[in-house]
Chain A
Amino acid sequence: MTARVAARPSGPGWILLAIAVAWIGLTILTPLALVFSEAVRKGWSAYLTAIVEPDALSAIKLTLLVAAIAVPLNAVFGVAAAWTVTKFEFRGKALLLSLIDLPFSLSPVISGLVWVLLFGANGWFGPLLNKWGIQVIFNVTGIVLATVLVTFPFVARELIPLMQSQGTDEELAAITLGAGGWSTFWRVTVPNIRWGLLYGVLLCNARAMGEFGAVSVISGHIRGQTNTMPLHVEVLYNDYNIGAAFAVASLLAGLALVTLAAKSALEWRIARADLNAIGG
């Protein structure tokens, strides 16, 4: 490691440091502080009322449900994709990698739009499915699809570099010694990637629960039915119910803070695991 103890700033260094800290304070910490300050401005009882009100509770439930479906799907995909890409050599790998990354460069609105193009009233498959009584848009299925697309690369992106750096030696050793494919995967690969996997799942989950644009396009904004937490925040805000909007927003901001704290803890863990691997 090339770590060196950072120095105390001197002279012009102080100016740079002051600019950096002021910028973070202005662009990141002030808006965050405002969320919590607005949330409790009308008192704690107003805050609680806004959160336990039925529409808010149903939004919270829907958000949890969507994340509970979308995140495991993308986690399984992430592991399968990383296994394919890092344990084997094949043609077209670069193309596959860029396709996996592709959803990162889509606007959230486009990630919602594409599902309407497929399943909306004028969509490719919409009229047919409607005839069978299957509705995809303006309901949970559509919200899940949009969320899955937006968070598609998160787990794969964390696992691919990690598994690349671990190589295939341990798996080869296990298989040469007679272990089966599944037992190699569960006993050798999974323990090696578990912290990275958890890291990817954490980021995927934060994005899944907080996604706004894609879900907004596809949900139809039916209060108490197809509103996730971020959509509920929008509805309240547009109704000039500012206090309640910030109360629900503060839950999402809390989720972001917990995610960041867990991420820091995991980074520390991963760094320590790396050191142990080098040391041992």
Chain B
Amino acid sequence: MTTVRAAFAWRRPSVIPGFGPAMGFTLFYLTMIVLIPLAALALRPWEHGVAGVWKTLSDDRVLAALRLSFGAALIASALNVVMGVIVAWALVRYRFPGKGLVDAAVDLPFALPTAVAGIALATLYGPHGWIGGLFFPLGIKIAYTPLGVLIALIAVGLPFVVRTVQPILAEAEVEIEDAAATLGATQWQWFSRVLLPALTPAVITGFSLAFARAVGEYGSVIFIAGNMPMRSEIAPLLIVTKLEQFDYAGAAAIGLAMLVLSFAALMVINGLQLVAARRGSAR
């Protein structure tokens, strides 16, 4: 009797059957595939104590890699916000030949394997590539420099922004533009007072998705990066290097640091989103 009452206390009774098996399988699978592995990631860095983690993370090479991964992700996502909004705007507002193709192409970075994107970008921006070859004679090297890392992160992040902004833009522009126009607002007023507040939460979401993806990106980066320690070596690659030296605790420490840092960044972004939402509703 008590067990039945306890069960009711944490779930509302329902005539639909299957809660037990479905919940049981969900939790079992979640535990085996996600929770136990992540427990290993959370616990293994501390094998040599806090000092061991500190030693790994305070290494200049590790710090340089973390700085590059997070810094390039930040710049790439910021640029993708600007370009993503422009692309979403063009797709929502304008009719033009080839629109279907452009719309479909936006999703390609979601579907294209990262290794394929990686070797394509490395070849394209290499000294003899279609694009790299144009810049090389001017003394500008793109592939095998931090600039190459940035190019790769820009290439993978665009769809996150476009696909979060596009539906909001489609809804907002019809409903709000008409209302604003009838009330006599100028284009600029409409843009800054009406569209921008409506769009900000979606832009922030798109930014954070692109950022999270870019921080951990591996396949599309390592071919074009050149992977020079202290200069163009990304944090995920250092994890691989540590593993190859059987330094499991060190690899786990870098992995955990990446995870904690990106969650911290996402929490700041979520905080911004709350502020933006409050400001939007206050108007």
* A260, B96: Cβ atoms closer than 8 Å: no
Contact among A76, A110, A233 with B255 in the assembled complex (CB-CB below 8 Å): A110
| B238-275 Cβ-contact flags toward A at 8 Å (1 or 0) | 01100100101001100100110011001000000000
Inter-chain CA distance A80–B118, complex, in Å, is 36
A7 adjacent to chain B (CB < 8 Å): yes
On whether A260 and B108 interact (CB within 8 A), knowing A109-B240, A176-B15, the answer reads: yes
* A233, B248: Cβ atoms closer than 8 Å: no
B266 to chain A, nearest CB (A): 8
Comparing A192-200, A244-252, A271-279, the segment that makes contact with chain B is: A244-252
Inter-chain CA distance A80–B87, complex, in Å, is 37
Nearest chain A residue, comparing its CB with the CB of B94:
A9
* A256, B255: Cβ atoms closer than 8 Å: no
Contacts of A16 in B (CB 8 A): 86, 89-90
Contact among A19, A108, A110, A264 with B86 in the assembled complex (CB-CB below 8 Å): A19
For the residues of A in contact with B, the DSSP-based class is helix
On whether A2 and B175 interact (CB within 8 A), knowing A92-B10, A113-B251, A253-B116, the answer reads: yes
B149 adjacent to chain A (CB < 8 Å): no
Nearest chain A residue, comparing its CB with the CB of B38:
A114
A206 adjacent to chain B (CB < 8 Å): yes
B11 to chain A, nearest CB (A): 4
Contacts of B114 in A (CB 8 A): 108, 210, 212-213, 230
Contact among B124, B218, B263 with A34 in the assembled complex (CB-CB below 8 Å): B124
Contact among B11, B117, B263 with A91 in the assembled complex (CB-CB below 8 Å): B11
Contacts of B117 in A (CB 8 A): 31
Residues of chain B at interface, number, CB under 8 A:
91
Contact among B29, B120, B217 with A31 in the assembled complex (CB-CB below 8 Å): B120
| B98-138 Cβ-contact flags toward A at 8 Å (1 or 0) | 11001011111111111111111101100001110000000
Residues of chain A at interface, number, CB under 8 A:
102
A95 to chain B, nearest CB (A): 11
B71 to chain A, nearest CB (A): 16
Nearest chain B residue, comparing its CB with the CB of A2:
B174
| A15-49 Cβ-contact flags toward B at 8 Å (1 or 0) | 01101110110011111101100100000000000
Contacts of B17 in A (CB 8 A): 175, 180-181, 184
* B215, A20: Cβ atoms closer than 8 Å: no
Contacts of B16 in A (CB 8 A): 87-88, 168, 171-172, 175, 181, 184
B236 adjacent to chain A (CB < 8 Å): yes
B14 adjacent to chain A (CB < 8 Å): yes
Inter-chain CA distance A24–B102, complex, in Å, is 7
* B262, A105: Cβ atoms closer than 8 Å: yes
Contacts of A171 in B (CB 8 A): 16
* B18, A28: Cβ atoms closer than 8 Å: no
Inter-chain CA distance A165–B191, complex, in Å, is 32
A84 adjacent to chain B (CB < 8 Å): yes
* B90, A109: Cβ atoms closer than 8 Å: no
Contacts of B215 in A (CB 8 A): 107
Inter-chain CA distance A107–B75, complex, in Å, is 18
Q: Which 8 A-B pairs have the closest CB atoms?
A: A107-B216, A210-B113, A114-B37, A90-B11, A181-B17, A213-B218, A20-B90, A212-B219
Q: List 22 A-B contacts (CB under 8 A).
A: A9-B90, A16-B90, A23-B83, A24-B106, A77-B26, A77-B29, A83-B22, A89-B12, A107-B217, A109-B240, A113-B252, A114-B38, A117-B252, A120-B243, A145-B33, A168-B14, A210-B113, A216-B218, A217-B243, A237-B119, A249-B119, A253-B112
B positions within 8 Å CB-CB of A: 10-12, 14-19, 21-23, 25-26, 29-30, 33-38, 40-41, 44, 83, 86-87, 89-96, 98-99, 102, 104-121, 123-124, 129-131, 154-155, 158, 170-171, 174-175, 212, 215-219, 223, 236-237, 239-240, 243, 246, 248, 251-252, 255, 258-259, 262-263, 266
A positions within 8 Å CB-CB of B: 2, 4-9, 13, 16-17, 19-21, 23-24, 27-32, 34-35, 38, 73, 76-77, 80-81, 83-84, 87-92, 96, 99-100, 102-110, 113-118, 120-124, 145, 148-149, 152, 168, 171-172, 175-176, 180-181, 184-185, 203, 206, 209-213, 216-217, 229-231, 233-234, 237, 242, 245-246, 249, 252-253, 255-257, 259-261, 263-264
